[in-house]
Chains A and B, each alone.
Chain A
Amino acid sequence: MGWTVLLAALKHQGGAADPALLEWIKDTLDHLLGLGPWSVIISLGLIIVLLPLLIMVFYTLQLRKDASRNPRE
């Protein structure tokens, strides 16, 4: 057991995922999607980049709306 125990002690809050489990997830995704690795990388990469960008864009739009609604005195 040894290090396996230590490794998993805090998995509830984010330990390293099991390599065998990851391998199985990859095989399942390959089977389901039928895409090459680069297609998956680009799709997931776009989601990852878009998340913070969307927050920034939404915030900027709200600020503009706010400024037009409440012009400085």
Chain B
Amino acid sequence: MLNLPTKKSPVYYGWYIVAATMFISFVGVGTRQGFGVFVIPMSEDFGWSRGTISLAASLGVLLNGLIQPFMGVLLDRFGGRKLIVFSLILLGFATISLAFTFHILYLIFVYGILSSVALGGMSITTTGAMLSKWFRRRRATALSLSSAGLSMGALILVPFAMYLLLATNWRITWAVLGLLVLLLALPLAIVFLRDDPAKLGLLPDGDAAPPEEADGKKGKLARGPLEADGWRESFRSMPIWQMTASYFVCGATTSILSVHFVPYALGLGVSPGRAALAFGLMMALNVVGAIGAGMLSDRFSRKNLLALTYFVRGCAYILLLVLPGEMSLWAFASVAGFSWIASAPLTTSLTADVYGLKAIGTITGVTFLFHAVGGFFAILLAGYLFDLTGSYTLPFAIAGAMLFPAALSAFTIRERKYSMRYAGKPVVAVGAGD
């Protein structure tokens, strides 16, 4: 194993953890989104219908959301390093095992259960909670960079799997994807991931000395007024409900588009290729949006950036409904793209700032569960309303309208009062909803 850095290392060790978690997200999302590549060849080989093979994927997606609070508990108890390393080992072997698929129940068990449990253990919720311990001032920047691995995985690993499958077969492709996890991501995790900067004699952000308090004292990091020792404690205060309510809307307004955007575009008379291109543009812009929002929120108020994210997405929905024809799609994709995943690093950073790090894994896991529930019900409701009215106007209008109260909910979080970023600093003018 490599030696560990000294306090005087020019590059703060936390940035290596960011790089490692970015690659872990990259590999994980490749395995998850890459499943779409295997649907047709596996269905043809075994004579399964699309509905049958989708059972494995849908179970996995649902389990992945439900399992997050439990993964959070494990993270808080055993640390992120152990959880992520174990998850990578499980994911690697499970993915290789998919090469030996012989029955639908085997696929459901290995992909729907084993892989999903593993992916839950190395999700951005888990890596975000871990990174929060390494960064305080640049927390959102670190989390947003790590989240960018998700988009990179979709852009690089999924086409790689697609071409490999074309040149070989689905069994070899699953085996190669599994080997990438075991031979590339796992060593990176073992070498770089560490739970606590203090164990390396480092301080968050690589600071040379602890931050100075208002009274001039230096020492332990200030304890915020709502710092929680357990997740239940956090849910007895207002800010977590404000963030969770917004995150519920976030789940609803992003998931509804994942399913209904292309059908909506086709209904406008747009070709499938152009509809997919508009959706692809939105996905590419989310990298810029997430990193930009992360960096800005380390300089300015996080809750204002979070509110702005929801507000911008709400405006994008208005553009989608008001502008004519294809123009509405491009306007929506351009505006909404910036807000697509920006909410995730901002919410995790703000949660860590307000509630501290002792139960951060469980708290963010529970919050993510609400995000998943929001997405699940929004998709169902949109489908139901479409059947009822024959149009997406009403479900999209409801989704867009929900974003403005979500923005208000985030905007009215009393960050200056409760966040540890401001602990010890005088609370200035109670402006900007604070």
Report if B187 contacts A (CB, 8 A): yes
Residue pair B258, A8 in contact (C-beta under 8 Å): yes
Give bound CA distance, A13 to B37, whole Å. 18
Find the B residue at minimum CB distance from A55: B19
**Given A51-B26, A69-B8, A10 and B375 contact (CB-CB distance below 8 Å):** yes
Shortest C-beta distance, A48 to chain B (Å), equals 6
Give bound CA distance, A2 to B167, whole Å. 33
Q: Please pick, from A12, A17, A49, A62, the residue contacting B10 in the complex, using a CB distance under 8 A.
A: A62
Give bound CA distance, A52 to B54, whole Å. 32
B residues less than 8 Å from A12 (CB atoms): 250-251, 254-255, 258, 340-341, 371, 375
Encoded as 1 (CB less than 8 Å from any A CB) or 0, chain B from 416 to 432 comes to 00000000000000000
A residues less than 8 Å from B167 (CB atoms): 37-38, 41
Give bound CA distance, A35 to B410, whole Å. 48
Residue pair B376, A9 in contact (C-beta under 8 Å): yes
Residue of A12, A18, A24 ringed by the most chain B CB atoms within 10 A: A12
Interface size on A, residues (CB 8 A): 48
B residues less than 8 Å from A29 (CB atoms): 159
A residues less than 8 Å from B58 (CB atoms): 3, 6-7, 9
Give bound CA distance, A3 to B192, whole Å. 39
A residues less than 8 Å from B372 (CB atoms): 9-10, 13
Chain A residues at the B interface, C-beta cutoff of 8 Å: 1-22, 24-26, 28-29, 37-38, 40-41, 44-45, 47-49, 51-52, 55-56, 59-60, 62-63, 65-66, 69-70
Question: What are 12 contact pairs spanning A and B, CB under 8 A?
Answer: A7-B54, A10-B255, A11-B254, A13-B65, A22-B36, A22-B37, A25-B159, A26-B159, A41-B160, A52-B188, A59-B2, A66-B8
Taking A51-B184, A62-B5 as known contacts, 15 extra A-B pairs with beta carbons closer than 8 A to each other, sorted by chain A number, are A2-B51, A7-B54, A7-B58, A10-B64, A10-B255, A12-B371, A12-B375, A24-B272, A26-B166, A41-B163, A41-B164, A52-B188, A55-B188, A59-B16, A62-B9
Chain B residues at the A interface, C-beta cutoff of 8 Å: 2-3, 5-6, 8-11, 16, 19-20, 23, 26, 28-29, 32-37, 39-40, 51, 54-55, 57-59, 61-62, 64-65, 119, 123-124, 150, 154, 156-160, 162-164, 166-167, 180, 184-185, 187-188, 191-192, 250-251, 254-255, 258-259, 262, 272-273, 276, 279-280, 340-341, 344, 368, 371-372, 375-376, 379-380, 383
